[in-house]
Amino acid sequence: SQTIHQWPATLVQPVGSPLSLECTVEGTSNPNLYWYRQAAGRGLQLLFYSVGIGQISSEVPQNLSASRPQDRQFILSSKKLLLSDSGFYLCAWGLGTGIQDTQYFGPGTRLTVL
């Protein structure tokens, strides 16, 4: 069966510091991968999605970037964090086409920028 991992689970960072969040998926090949952000008490905002290694699409212009160095690894980064980057970051995977088109979320990383 498929499993999705995210780390770290929680993170407290000062403004202006760099960021690296990692997501990995097990038990499937060539998944579509997604990064979402959820501000406190708010909805799900799609940040990036990827249909394959090295293929990244950005949904919202911001100081964040994403990379997919391996088939089942998705990384979210920032060179300098802003206060507004605080939130709950969720990685999700899906197979995207045909019957198996459901998205499944990872456990999330709760980021606080001080």
Residues that bind another protein (CB under 8 A): 32, 34, 42-44, 46, 49, 51, 90, 94-97, 101-108
Instruction: Report the nearest approach of another protein to the CB of residue 44 (Å).
Output: 5
Smaller CB distance to another protein: residue 13 or 110? 110
Instruction: Report the nearest approach of another protein to the CB of residue 16 (Å).
Output: 27
Give whole-number Cα distances, 81 to 19, 23, 57, in Å: 7, 19, 21
How many Cα atoms occupy the beta-carbon half-sphere of 26 within 13 Å?
A: 5
Smaller CB distance to another protein: residue 64 or 108? 108
Question: How many helices (H) and strands (E) would you count in the chain?
Answer: 0, 11
Q: Give Cα 108 to chain centroid, integer Å.
A: 8
Smaller CB distance to another protein: residue 14 or 97? 97
